[in-house]
């Protein structure tokens, strides 16, 4: 009996050794720390340099003033169509209250895309085209009396001509330092942005959206600057040759006297990556409205 018990004790002892040995296997572990996703950014800022009858709106000691040789707008008088790159709000590309036939101007608009490649569009809309008041020359020209309740009874939008182009210089596409890029001058190789090249405000600015860069043209490069030239004429604007614009005030009749037109200009960008079918056309429910 004692021999049997001793044998059982030996079995228990060996089993204990086997159980204790399982904690001695080789092992290793690796830990990756700091895993993170950070969303990128798409940001657009806009600046403008404004010209009117050859004068330019520039920053001076007393704020922004007109500089140049033209008598109107008077050199040294205040202006507000030039500003440094910013998010748009109260800035105005046009803020003129005494436009006459033959007046002409231009804004060179810079788009700064930060920091990823992006498609870019501009949406424009006339928000009023008001007769304001009816003076004798207007009625003599056949204009109806001004309506106090209709903000679209005017004719100024039909008598202002506009032309826009991609101001990218001598080499197609925005290079950033190309000769002639962003120089306020339409050159023969720089493409117009309007399908009809030149149009009245009532046509070119009335609920339209224009493509600056989409999936067919390729995006604007992140960190780049792109330039748009936007010219206007109080009267008839023509392009007798590529790179040449001519404003004839005779095309602006008396029916536009005292009239006032206001418009909105909205720029928008959208990421290019993973967005291969983007177009600037707005869905019907998002179309620009007054």
pLDDT tens, 67-79? Answer: 999 999 999 999 9
Give residue 149's region: left, alpha or beta (phi > 0; psi -120 to 50): alpha
pLDDT tens, 18-39? Answer: 455 555 899 999 999 999 998 9
Q: What percent of the chain has pLDDT over 90?
A: 71
pTM exceeding 0.75: yes
The three-state secondary structure class of 12 is helix
Q: What is the number of other CB atoms lying within 10 angstroms of the CB of residue 202?
A: 18
Task: Determine the pLDDT at residue 174.
Answer: 80
What are the distances in angstroms from CA 166 to CA 68, 109, 187, 275, 286?
25, 10, 10, 23, 25
Enumerate residue ranges in the chain where pLDDT < 70.
1-23, 284-290
Q: What is the number of other CB atoms lying within 10 angstroms of the CB of residue 104?
A: 21
Q: By C-alpha distance, which of 98, 93, 85, 102 is closest to 43?
A: 85
Can you give the residue ranges of every domain in the chain?
Answer: 53-84, 103-286
The β-bridge relationship of strands 42-52 and 83-86 is: antiparallel
């Amino acid at each position: 009996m004692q021999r049997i018990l001793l044998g059982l004790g030996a079995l228990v002892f060996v089993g204990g050794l086997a159980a204790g040995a399982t904690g001695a296997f080789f092992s290793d572990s690796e830990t990756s720390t700091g895993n993170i996703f950070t969303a990128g950014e798409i940001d657009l800022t806009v600046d403008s340099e404004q010209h009117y009858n050859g004068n330019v709106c520039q920053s001076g000691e007393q704020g922004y003033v007109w500089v140049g040789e033209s008598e109107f707008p008077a050199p040294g008088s205040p202006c507000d169509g030039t500003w440094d790159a910013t998010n748009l709000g109260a800035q105005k590309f046009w803020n003129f209250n005494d436009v006459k036939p033959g007046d002409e101007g231009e804004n060179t608009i810079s788009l700064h895309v930060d920091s990823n490649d992006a498609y870019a569009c501009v949406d424009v809309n006339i928000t009023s085209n008001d007769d304001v008041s009816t003076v004798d020359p207007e009625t003599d020209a056949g204009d109806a009396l001004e309506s106090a309740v209709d903000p679209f009874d005017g004719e100024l939008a039909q008598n202002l001509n506009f032309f826009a182009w991609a101001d990218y210089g001598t080499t197609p596409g925005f290079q950033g330092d190309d000769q002639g890029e962003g120089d306020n001058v339409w050159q023969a190789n720089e493409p117009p942005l309007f399908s009809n090249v030149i149009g009245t405000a009532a046509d070119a600015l009335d609920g339209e959206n224009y493509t600056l860069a989409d999936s067919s043209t390729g995006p604007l490069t992140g960190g780049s600057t792109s330039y748009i030239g936007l010219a206007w004429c109080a009267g008839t604007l023509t392009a007798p040759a590529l790179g040449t614009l001519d404003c004839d005030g005779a095309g602006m009749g008396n029916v536009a006297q005292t009239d006032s037109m206001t418009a909105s200009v909205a720029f928008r960008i959208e990421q290019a990556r993973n967005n291969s079918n983007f177009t600037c056309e707005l869905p019907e429910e998002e179309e620009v409205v007054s």
